[in-house]
Amino acid sequence: MGLLVFVTVLWAFSFSLIGEFLAGQVDSDFAVLTRVVLGALVFLPFTRWRGVPGGLKLGVLVTGMLQFGITYLCLYRSFSYLTVPEVLLFTIFTPLYVTLIDDALYRRFSPVALAAAAIATLGAGIIRYDGLSQGFITGFLLLQVANFTFAAGQVGYKHTMMRFRTEVPAYRTFGYFFFGALIIALPSFLIFGDASRLPTTSLQWGILAWLGLAASGVGLFLWNRGACVVDAGTLAIMNNALVPAGLIVNLLIWNRDADLLRLALGGSVIAFSLWVNARFHPRARLAVSA
C-alpha cells in the first residue's frame, strides 16, 4: 500500500500543475501523446523483447490501451460537455468499477469491498459536489467510460501479472503498457489534435517532461505494482484518496478557495472506508498481515 500512497502524493501535485499551466493553453491530445511517448522512453531501455510469454505481452499492452489510452481520450473529451466540478464529481465512481470488475473476473461477490468503495465514493462526493448543469448526459457517459477503462486497466494488470508468474521482472515488460497507450494516443492526436496549440514556454515543456517521465512513467508503474499487492477494496479506496490529496496540494500552494469543512468531512469518510475494508474484508486482513 505504501506505493499507492506515494503515487497518490505524486499525482496530487500533477493535478495542480495541469490545471494551472496546461489546461486551456496546450492541446490536450498533444499533452497526452507527449506523456505516453516519454513514459515509453523511460522503460524502452529495459524492455525485454525475447523470452516473454505472448500472453503477458498482450495483457500488459491491452491494460495500457485501457488505463492510459482510452481513459485519457474520453476524459479530455468530457470537458467539452461538463464543467470542471462535474468532471471531478463523476470520477468518484471509479472505485465501484474496480470492485465490480475484480469480482467479475473471480466470479464472486464481495459485499464488504463494494460497501467500502461506496463509502469512499460518498466521501469524495461530499468534497466535490457543487451542483449539476443541465445538458451533461454525453459528458457523463464519456467520463464513465474513462472511469471504467481506468479501473479495468488496474485490475487487468494485476490479474495479468498473477496469471503469468515468470522470472521476468515487471519493469522489463512495462514498456508494453505504453506501447498499448500509444496505439490510442497517436491516432487521437492525428485526428483531433490542434497543432497551433503546442507548448510555447519552457515552463510548459518542463511540466510536460515531468508529467511524462515522473507522473506517467514512474507513477503508473509504481501504481500498478502497488495494485498487485493489495486487495480490490483497498485499491478502490486509494483511487478516491486522490481527491482530498489533490485539493490539499492546490490549497496550500496556489491558495485556491476550498470548503475546508467539506474537505475534512469527506477525507474522514474516505479514511473510515479504508478502516472498514481492512477490518472486515478477509482478503484485506490477509494482505495486511503478510
Under 8 Å between Cβ of 176 and 47: yes
Domain assignment present for residue 286? The answer is no
φ and ψ at 111, to 5 degrees?
-65, -35
Q: Look at residue 47 and tell me whether its pLDDT is greater than 90.
A: yes
Task: With respect to residue 194, please indicate whether it lies within any of the assigned structural domains.
Answer: yes
137-195 pLDDT, tens digit per residue, is: 788 888 889 989 999 999 999 999 999 987 789 999 999 999 999 999 999 999 999 99
Domain-located, residue 97: yes
Residue with more model confidence, 198 or 233: 198
- For residue 288, being part of any structural domain is answered with no
Mean pLDDT throughout 231-245? 82
Closest by CA to 172, choosing from 31, 53, 23, is: 53
pLDDT tens profile 264-274:
888 888 888 87
| Counted domains in the chain | 1
> What is the residue type of 212?
G
Asked if the structure places residue 253 within a domain, the reply is: yes
Q: How confident is the model at residue 289 (pLDDT cuts 50, 70, 90)?
A: very low
CA 215 to chain centre: 11
Residue 273, domain member (yes or no): yes
pLDDT of residue 218: 95
Using alpha carbons, select from 239, 219, 272 the residue that is nearest to residue 100.
Answer: 239
- Note whether residue 6 is domain-resident: yes
In a domain, 290, yes or no: no
Domain that holds residue 246: 2-281
Closest CA to 106 of 289, 290, 283: 283
Side chain identity at residue 195, one-letter code: A
30-34, 162-166, 218-222: range with lowest mean pLDDT: 162-166
Q: What is the average pLDDT across 66-76?
A: 89
